[in-house]
């Protein structure tokens, strides 16, 4: 059995990790780390775990934790791992970080977008960006995984075949994304109160959202050169889910058949990416509670553009599920172990 520890186990992503790993056939959770609920029963915080998890919350001593487990999941705010990670920890246990601390390879670029000084840039080159469908081979031998953000996961997987096959003008990409409120985390914020969110929709982080450089970097690697795009997220009154609708100008002569073949090429053997084909549009309810990504791309011959679409559960494939998928790859397990849940639909 793989021994796992979770730092930030009482946040939304941490709670999803507990849910998924509790049902994992090859994992035992040894540590439920939480700065806010030390020595409190985990099931008192999440009643869904009553008579399922019989453990108290521990503190956040990463060095001590690394001596007792094989893998550590850090479901923590940006900047936490920067001040905690060291060589001793990585020598003792593998680390899957759900924050953005090691996703962006350029420390100065990270500091520019996140306004946090990067104190451990020595680990940036080693960290593997854990988008499993694209970086699977690098993940296998990694000690440190930078688990992708929710918006980047959906955006990159929705557009990757088009960019990789050179079917679009990469600098024409516009991404319109919608997210449920759990994406903002469990912390109390006035903007996320029920009366503030219900019966409303709004754009936020316009031109300055911190996932922008992450999306640009990953699609830039696929294109083979740097690119610039527009990314605008919106908050919608639902708990879970991300829907991406992206637009780009097609290169001369590109047809719907060529687009379909590109998606089939990259995703036909990927269990968790479902290419819908035809005019069928992804829906967040069809992936809710699961690790699936539904994608499609429709050519508009009238405007010579393509509309690429994707839907994920932001707390599963956009966070905890992808972290478990990364762990499975790192330890040579079945990639879908613990992730076989069928979407909940409602």
- Residues taking part in catalysis: 150
What gap in Å lies between CA 276 and CA 195, rounded to an integer? 35
Tens digit of each residue's pLDDT (9 = 90 or more) over 266-299: 999 999 999 998 889 999 999 999 999 999 999 9
CATH, range 151-314: 3.30.360.10
Strand partners, 7: 33, 74
Dihedrals φ, ψ of 4, to 5°?
A: -120, 145
Predicted confidence at residue 40, as pLDDT, reads: 94
Q: What is the mean pLDDT of residues 22-32?
A: 96
Report in angstroms the alpha-carbon separations of 190 from 187, 208, 283, 317.
10, 21, 28, 27
Tens digit of each residue's pLDDT (9 = 90 or more) over 163-214: 999 999 999 999 999 999 877 666 667 777 777 778 899 999 999 999 999 9
Tens digit of each residue's pLDDT (9 = 90 or more) over 200-251: 999 999 999 999 999 999 999 999 999 999 999 999 999 899 999 999 999 9
What gap in Å lies between CA 177 and CA 203, rounded to an integer? 9
Three-state DSSP class for 324?
helix
Tens digit of each residue's pLDDT (9 = 90 or more) over 52-78: 999 999 988 899 999 999 999 999 999
Out of 3.40.50.720, 2.40.37.20, 1.10.3290.10, 3.90.1150.10, select the CATH number for domain 2-126. 3.40.50.720
Give the chain's end-to-end CA distance (angstroms, integer): 33
Name the band, by pLDDT with cuts 50, 70 and 90, for residue 311: very high
Predicted confidence at residue 195, as pLDDT, reads: 77
Predicted TM-score of the model (pTM): 0.95
Tens digit of each residue's pLDDT (9 = 90 or more) over 73-122: 999 999 999 989 999 999 999 999 999 999 999 999 999 999 999 999 99
Task: Enumerate the domain spans of the chain.
Answer: 2-126, 151-314
Is residue 338 within 8 Å of residue 23, measured between CB atoms? yes
Residue 257 Rama label (left phi>0; alpha psi -120 to 50; beta)? alpha
Report in angstroms the alpha-carbon separations of 71 from 121, 123, 189, 319.
21, 17, 31, 16
């Amino acid at each position: 059995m793989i021994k796992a520890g979770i730092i930030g186990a009482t946040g939304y992503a941490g709670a999803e990790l507990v849910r998924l790993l509790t049902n994992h056939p090859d994992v035992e959770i040894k540590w439920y780390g939480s700065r806010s609920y030390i020595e409190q029963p985990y099931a008192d915080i999440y009643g869904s775990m009553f008579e399922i998890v019989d453990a108290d919350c521990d503190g956040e001593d990463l060095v001590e934790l690394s001596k007792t487990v094989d893998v550590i999941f850090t479901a923590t705010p940006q900047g936490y791992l920067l001040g905690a990670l060291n060589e001793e920890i990585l020598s003792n246990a593998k680390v899957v970080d759900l924050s953005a601390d090691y996703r962006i390879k350029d420390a100065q670029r990270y500091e520019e977008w996140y306004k946090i000084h990067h104190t451990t840039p020595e680990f940036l080159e080693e960290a593997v960006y854990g988008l499993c469908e694209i970086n699977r081979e690098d993940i296998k031998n990694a000690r440190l995984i930078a688990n992708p953000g929710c918006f980047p996961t959906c955006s990159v997987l929705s557009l990757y075949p088009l960019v990789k096959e050179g079917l679009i003008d990469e600098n024409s990409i516009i991404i319109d994304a919608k997210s449920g409120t759990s994406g903002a985390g469990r912390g109390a914020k006035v903007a996320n109160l029920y009366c503030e969110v219900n019966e409303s929709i709004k754009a936020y982080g316009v031109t300055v959202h911190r996932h922008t450089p992450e999306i640009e970097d990953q699609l830039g690697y696929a294109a083979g050169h740097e690119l610039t795009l527009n990314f605008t997220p919106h908050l919608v009154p639902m708990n879970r889910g991300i829907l991406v609708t992206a637009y780009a100008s097609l290169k001369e002569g590109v047809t719907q058949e060529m687009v379909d073949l590109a998606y089939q090429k990259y995703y036909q053997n990927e269990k968790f990416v479902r290419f819908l084909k035809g005019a069928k549009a992804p829906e967040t309810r069809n992936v809710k509670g699961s690790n699936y990504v539904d994608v499609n791309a429709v050519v508009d011959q009238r405007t010579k553009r393509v509309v690429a679409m994707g839907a994920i559960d932001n707390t599963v494939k956009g966070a905890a599920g992808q972290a478990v998928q990364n762990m499975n790859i790192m330890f040579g397990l079945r990639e879908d172990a613990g992730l076989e849940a069928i979407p909940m639909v409602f």
